[in-house]
Amino acid sequence: MLKYLSADVLAMANAFEHALKNLASANKYAKIPADIFGKICVPEHVHQFTISAGGKKYQGYRVQHNAARGPYKGGIRYHPQVEINEVKALATWMSLKCAVVDIPYGGGKGGVACDPKKLSEKDKEAVSRGWAKAMAPHIGAWKDVPAPDVNTDSQTMAWILDEYEKITGRHEPAAITGKPIELGGSLGRDKATSQGGWFVLREALKANKLKKGTIAIQGVGNVGGWLAEILHKEGFRIVALSDSRGGIYSSAGIDVHKALMHKQAKGTLQGLAGTKLISNEALLELPVDVLAPSALENVITKDNAKNIKAKLVLEMANGPTTPEADAILDKKGVLVIPDILANAGGVTVSYFEWAQNLSGYSWDLGEVDQKLERQMTRAFTAVHETAQKHRVSYRAAANVVALERIAKAMQLRGR
């Protein structure tokens, strides 16, 4: 049966297994008692339902992983390959991510198996309202707080919030984050993941006595695009950028602003004056100081890990490195800043949005950035100290920090 599945689908089906493998290896150091560890490995609730929209039926999901530290929190993804194992893995990673940055949430993740490129705006709205109708009894500011993920945005969140509030009959902006600013969204949410990535990278460079130097970024969507702009301003030389169609390279450095304008105008990065074409595969193997995979899962694999020449890998995408590749990078001495730390700035500012909504008071951008910097710096310090204590990689250390915090909350609750 498995041989009939494409590599992409197999990788996602295996994602939950990968998440559990990472947890099990981290537990060699965290030493969480078996009964509690066993509970952390099993999502608390799994919701699967059918959504009817535009005369078609779609499979909807929400996995609520662990609520010991607070309400479930996590995005909703629209993609043809969304399936239950992937959603379970992403929900588990959300619990770990929220614990690493020490925000008061558990993990959740949702999705709809659909191809958003083939949906009209009206059908997208119907799918989003259908998701909210099915999940209305199970979400809310103090229960489960959804947010955008791949192929969903602030408009999607506006439809979901509106449908949820129609059903409950009252305003509850803190029930959803990643909303438009006009409906209670937070300033700084758009760049938060990349801004947080920079704060963590800055601390990692300092702690490991590495220099800023050159960087290659795979994917210039929301996360990669903002990261390129921020790091360009911080003095990095951006030598390569890419999107799904391929990449561009310049050893002298790419003018990021020009590259993003070019992509906006032409729909592609290719053709920017002063740059050469480069494939997404070759971009990953460039001799750079920092490599930032910011697009897809499973791009650094056992086949290309040995060719990675970067000194540091900043995992802005979720799950860009397979466990086999991770072991190879570790052996080669490549410093990997794991996704649950590197890209946690997004959920951190989602937490700020929720806090602002609950207090009915909004913060200016300076306040958001300052609080984000403090949260990310503290998280890096906790992971760095744990890595030194146990002499393990940052990935193992981040999992240890997260497991210990989740287990402590479960013990205090007597679960």
Q: Which residues are catalytic?
A: 109
In this structure, are residues 342 and 321 in contact, taking their beta carbons and an 8 Å threshold? no
d(CA 395, CA 313): 11
Which residue lies nearer to ligand NAD by CB, 27 or 280?
280
Which residue lies nearer to ligand NAD by CB, 147 or 312?
147
Minimum distance, C-beta of residue 57 to ligand NAD, in the bound complex (Å): 25
Q: Which of residues 327-346 bind ligand NAD (CB under 6 A)?
A: 343, 346
Which residue lies nearer to ligand NAD by CB, 137 or 221?
221
Indicate which single residue of 98, 135, 150, 158 sits in contact with ligand NAD (rule: CB under 6 A): 150
User: Regarding beta strands 72-79 and 45-53, do their DSSP bridges make them parallel or antiparallel, or are they unpaired?
Assistant: unpaired
282 is a site residue for ligand NAD (CB under 6 A): no
The dihedral sign for the CA sequence 17, 22, 24, 25? positive
User: Regarding beta strands 72-79 and 144-148, do their DSSP bridges make them parallel or antiparallel, or are they unpaired?
Assistant: parallel
Which residue lies nearer to ligand NAD by CB, 156 or 218?
218
What are the tokens at 96?
Answer: 């770990």
156 is a site residue for ligand NAD (CB under 6 A): no
Report how many residues bind ligand NAD under the rule CB under 6 A.
22
CA 90 to chain centre: 9
Give the contacts of 127 (CB within 8 A, at least 6 positions apart).
Answer: 51, 53, 58, 78, 112, 114, 119
The residue type of 125 is: E
| DSSP conformational letter for 186 | P
280 is a site residue for ligand NAD (CB under 6 A): yes
Only segment of 22-30, 156-164, 216-224, 300-308 that touches ligand NAD (CB under 6 A): 216-224
Indicate which single residue of 95, 128, 250, 294 sits in contact with ligand NAD (rule: CB under 6 A): 294
Only segment of 65-73, 218-226, 301-309, 325-333 that touches ligand NAD (CB under 6 A): 218-226
Only segment of 5-13, 34-42, 109-117, 310-318 that touches ligand NAD (CB under 6 A): 310-318
220 is a site residue for ligand NAD (CB under 6 A): yes
Task: Give the full edge-to-edge strand order of the sheet including 106-113.
Answer: 45-53, 56-66, 106-113, 72-79, 144-148
The helix (H) or strand (E) run that includes residue 24 is helix 15-30
316 is a site residue for ligand NAD (CB under 6 A): yes
Indicate which single residue of 86, 172, 229, 243 sits in contact with ligand NAD (rule: CB under 6 A): 243
**Alpha helices, DSSP H only, in 293-344?**
323-332, 339-342
Minimum distance, C-beta of residue 11 to ligand NAD, in the bound complex (Å): 13
Which residue lies nearer to ligand NAD by CB, 27 or 298?
298
d(CA 118, CA 106): 33
Residue number, nearest CB to ligand NAD? 221
Only segment of 78-86, 233-241, 294-302, 362-370 that touches ligand NAD (CB under 6 A): 294-302
Indicate which single residue of 36, 183, 296, 327 sits in contact with ligand NAD (rule: CB under 6 A): 296
Indicate which single residue of 38, 137, 180, 221 sits in contact with ligand NAD (rule: CB under 6 A): 221
66 is a site residue for ligand NAD (CB under 6 A): no
What are the tokens at 46?
Answer: 């799994």
The residue type of 236 is: F
Question: In the chain, count of helices (H) and strands (E)?
Answer: 15, 12
| DSSP conformational letter for 174 | G
Q: For residues 56-68, b (16+ Cβ closer than 10 Å) or e, as one string? A: eebebbbbbbbbb
In this structure, are residues 85 and 16 in contact, taking their beta carbons and an 8 Å threshold? yes
Indicate which single residue of 64, 92, 195, 242 sits in contact with ligand NAD (rule: CB under 6 A): 242
Which residue lies nearer to ligand NAD by CB, 32 or 315?
315
Which residue lies nearer to ligand NAD by CB, 184 or 219?
219
CA 133 to chain centre: 25
Minimum distance, C-beta of residue 398 to ligand NAD, in the bound complex (Å): 14
The residue type of 110 is: G
d(CA 39, CA 49): 24
Q: Which residues bind ligand NAD (CB under 6 A)?
A: 149-150, 193, 218-224, 242-244, 280, 294-296, 316-318, 343, 346
